[in-house]
Amino acid sequence: MNPGTGATDGGRHGEGSAQAFGHLVTGGVDVSHGPILYLEGVTVSFDGFRALDDLSLTLDDGELRCIIGPNGAGKTTMMDVITGRTRPDAGRVFFGQTIDLTRLSESRIAQAGIGRKFQRPTVFETMTVFENMELALKTDKGGWASLRAVLDSAQLGRIESILVLTNLRDAVDRVAGTLSHGQKQWLEIGMLLAQEPRVVLLDEPVAGMTDAETEKTAELCLQLEKQHTVVVVEHDMDFVARIARTVTVLCEGSVLAEGPMDAVRNDPRVIEVYLGR
């Protein structure tokens, strides 16, 4: 068992202190002197096996970063560490200059502005697309919904623009359970966007999508860039090539290579451990 996992309340680290809380209340992610996400020397062990092994990674504000690498490389574990689901055994994980993510609970990290989409879509199947969006908008980032509040026109406008962005405008009254797999993935991304995250983490967003859905998801990722920092983990190399700026290759829990898609794709080490399989 990972001794760090499960310590999600974070309170014992003094997360509730005025100082730590102040960063959240002001909503300030201080990126004035560097990256928006900063991981240094992060190690996560499961029964002695190092899923992350001295991983260091930095992400600039507003960038779109693709993370690739073989099964078991630690990509999902890296997202678990950033979102507070798994505690690192060692290392530093910062959101901006001042927010130490290893000291915050999962819900506080979401409140601070880091949103995550899991591999499988988790929308409310019996509710319509609109109702799912409404719920996401009324739910604060800690997961508490104020259901009786009536949406104001600004909120309705936001739902509308997110539905346009996620190709769901025409499906607004559809019951979510009847959507295609790809549409469910978009709805979940839309629900994530309703919470206005600074950082959006997408784990295998195009897995199981048709080619047409994959292309639309590429366009969506490119539109999210700048307004959000976007981290995309994917195995679909055509998709990655379509959206790639900087690509990071993880292998055995640390960074094997990093750079533009062409450089990474032609790196003999990357071909050996991943692309050449």
Ligand X SMILES: Nc1ncnc2c1ncn2[C@@H]1O[C@H](COP(=O)(O)OP(=O)(O)OP(=O)(O)O)[C@@H](O)[C@H]1O
Give the residues lining the site for ligand X (CB under 6 A).
46, 51, 69, 71-77
Under a CB-based contact definition with an 8 Å cutoff, are residues 66 and 232 in contact? yes
Smaller CB separation from ligand X, 82 or 133: 82
Helices (H) and strands (E) in the chain, counts: 10, 10
Smaller CB separation from ligand X, 20 or 209: 209
Largest Cα separation within the chain, whole Å, is: 58
- Residue 141 binds: one of Mg ion, ligand X, none (C-beta under 5 to 8 A by kind): none
Smaller CB separation from ligand X, 6 or 142: 6
Report the alpha-carbon angle 61-165-84, nearest 5: 45
Query: Three-state SS for 39?
Result: strand
Smaller CB separation from ligand X, 77 or 111: 77
Task: Give the bridge partners for 145, in sequence order.
Answer: 139
Cα separation of 112 and 27, whole Å?
7
Q: Which two tokens stand for residue 107?
A: 């819900």
Smaller CB separation from ligand X, 69 or 88: 69
Cα separation of 127 and 132, whole Å?
6
Q: What single-letter DSSP state applies at residue 92?
A: E
- Residue 46 binds: one of Mg ion, ligand X, none (C-beta under 5 to 8 A by kind): ligand X
Separation in Å, CA 164 to CA 67, 167, 223, 257: 27, 5, 12, 36
Closest separation in Å from C-beta 76 to ligand X: 3
